Structure 1
């Protein structure tokens, strides 16, 4: 993994190390629509994907929807496999235009709008999701854009041309969510749908499938409780064994990135629709178990086979998010649950250190930068906290829009996406 201290890019979901840590950055603590604002750039379409940054350019995906009338929406939903009882919680478009956008990091000027594909009559998604929720990955001269079942694209950063594209059909149930990971030339994708659950690796330069490994068997009455939306992480245990950890419904599984061979598996119960990306401390991984009854688990990563009875360090059943990822810094774990209660836990014991009500609904993952924690909610509030056992809220900032994407810190600036615009604060 890239050192956060050496980072001059923000290449993936949650930054250089994939964990929301930007220790060397010093973005502002106080900011708003008219305070410490370097620029604000309106964005087309609707997307919850987070911005990625390289060589002075911010890259974002989006989906421009052809919105149906209410009558058309009802007709489209009736043509899906969804139960009519679920229609109120679903959204659907007549068609979606998937695009990759680039914005100048210094000025905020739009640079390119790259048309990737148009999908006619796409599947329904959850009303709180978007058709472009997975965050892209910058790899060398390329940007990998993943939209789940709607397509995967490799784009040349210089020319804007599409070098290859693949479609890996999957029944997401409520839309795509898993972001891609590129490691040693392999594009790792978690494909946990209602119809099938597997992990696959593609050649990042060609899109050719290198390996595909099915998930362990699950005990669930329907595919709805088998689906998941997590993003993989690469770890190396104390024995020098490199692993790709892929959290899913009921199971956390470790794979060999070269071959897809399974190293170990851990059964975490009936949790499903898992979103939070795990974090690592030494030989211990910290994972949230998803919807149902979210819990935070700590497990050792140096095992082989089924490690359920041997490698669990502790479990914490209270105050755990089903969407936002945990953040681990300086010997403490920070997180915020779906309903706006932030908590801090001791990673050695799982004991609660403190709990604070921030307010609002949360999906975006937190950021650590410049000695502070940044938490953004659906209502457009960004809470800035100090760290440690006596942490406190030092500032509450407000933006015009909904925050679903996770922020980036680079150039001692905060890059933040709402449902309407992209901001730079410095």
Structure 2
């Protein structure tokens, strides 16, 4: 083999390795809404996801779970991570499962709590393991709201650091998941006693900044009474972290208003007022259109398109709103954007297709059952999983087209699905399922 042939062969092998490495990294699902935080599946996975399954067909394995949890599976380095808690919240655990075999690799109690805040009127709905983990190379970040936050070694599940001194009266249980960006772990605490966002050093766990909400909660409600207590101050939103020009912003929807913060300093950049509370849906950033799509919460939830750029600052309520969809919006499931269209499913299964530029509803279709889980987009296919075990696949297009409905009651879920290496991972009440074609 001459020198040129050797170099050509080496270059080909190196290219193949780089492509393989890139595809592997894209296959991971390190955040509850995927690698791009918008529910969109990597192209390599999208092409091979199954359309049909039963309780045995196209199910690679199911791994037993214990306790309760709304937390979504997240995946990296060949391991699936999720959390669980006892019904009374006294024990909160983290679980690691082998991605290929379904073997339980780690199942350890991370926090034990003597003083547990009751879930109030939300008993039977929320639980003490609602926030999802977030992953980085070699690290797992686990969060249970004010009960504790920890960084674990992803190989051994040993605790590297933990924090149990971030206070918040959750009132109905924690719900906001952590977000990781540029060695900063961003946490959101919207309780009845205090409402703030904080960034921790991902390596050490030290607080880098804390910014309290500037929202005026003393405004009068519809009944003429001040909005001082209970749900009127609550939110469960996982923030979006976006790049706008040279600045990285944290977009966080709270009760009565949303704010944008500078990721480096925590300084508030702008605010948008609204009339709702209990916001639980992550903002959706559409950089090509310079639009952010937000859902305001659970009381008269609005879907709002907001125009923003590098110059956006101050109170933008009256200046930057492009359109508002007043009714027919979900409380829990993230909207998905594809080819200029937004798809969203309400709690009771009304699927709507909306023009992203105008907010006009193009069509709506009924999906059976109730929905807490956010959908995923794989190529031109939308996947929806409901609380009764139905998995529906819909073509993402300008006309309604339901192409498959799979009924597996054991796959009843309140958690977002995850995707990795051509498989879908669904958290049922008693098992974690891996759905994959042979």
Scaled by the length of structure 2, the TM-score of the pair is 0.87
Residues in 2 aligned to 1:141 and 1:7: alpha-carbon distance in whole angstroms? 16
1:166 aligns with 2:163: yes
Give 1:231's aligned residue. 238
Q: Secondary structure at the match of 1:322?
A: coil
Residues in 2 aligned to 1:33 and 1:299: alpha-carbon distance in whole angstroms? 43
Is 51-60 or 214-223 further displaced after alignment?
A: 214-223
Q: Secondary structure at the match of 1:7?
A: helix
1:117 aligns with 2:111: yes
Give 2:38's aligned residue. 19
Larger radius of gyration between Structure 1 and Structure 2: 2
- Unaligned runs of at least 5 residues, structure 2: 1-21, 220-226
User: Which of 69, 80, 90 is residue 58 of structure 1 equivalent to?
Assistant: 80
CA RMSD of superposed structures (Å): 1.5
User: Which of 103, 116, 127 is residue 130 of structure 1 equivalent to?
Assistant: 127
CA-to-aligned-CA distance 1:16-45 (integer Å, 9 cap, x gap): 011100041231111121111111111111
Q: Matched residue pairs, number?
A: 394
1:410 aligns with 2:420: yes
Q: CA deviation at 1:213?
A: 0.5
Q: CA deviation at 1:64?
A: 2.7
The 5 A counterparts of 1:173-192 are 173-192=171-190
Q: CA deviation at 1:324?
A: 1.2
User: Which of 196, 202, 222 is residue 229 of structure 2 equivalent to?
Assistant: 222
User: Which of 146, 152, 158 is residue 143 of structure 2 equivalent to?
Assistant: 146
Residues in 2 aligned to 1:286 and 1:376: alpha-carbon distance in whole angstroms? 22
CA-to-aligned-CA distance 1:235-264 (integer Å, 9 cap, x gap): 122x33321111111112111111001111
Scaled by the length of structure 1, the TM-score of the pair is 0.90
Give 2:277's aligned residue. 272
Q: Give the conservation status (yes or no) of the 8 Å contact 2:365–2:400.
A: no
Residues in 2 aligned to 1:32 and 1:255: alpha-carbon distance in whole angstroms? 45
Q: Give the conservation status (yes or no) of the 8 Å contact 1:285–1:300.
A: yes
Q: Secondary structure at the match of 1:21?
A: coil
Give 2:9's aligned residue. none
- Unaligned runs of at least 5 residues, structure 1: 66-92
Q: Give the conservation status (yes or no) of the 8 Å contact 2:254–2:279.
A: yes
The 5 A counterparts of 1:189-228 are 189-216=187-214, 217-218=216-217, 219=219, 220-228=227-235
Q: Give the conservation status (yes or no) of the 8 Å contact 2:295–2:301.
A: yes
1:46 aligns with 2:43: no
Residues in 2 aligned to 1:63 and 1:4: alpha-carbon distance in whole angstroms? 34
Q: Give the conservation status (yes or no) of the 8 Å contact 1:27–1:370.
A: no
Give 1:79's aligned residue. none
Q: Give the conservation status (yes or no) of the 8 Å contact 2:132–2:177.
A: yes
Give 2:17's aligned residue. none
Give 2:246's aligned residue. 240
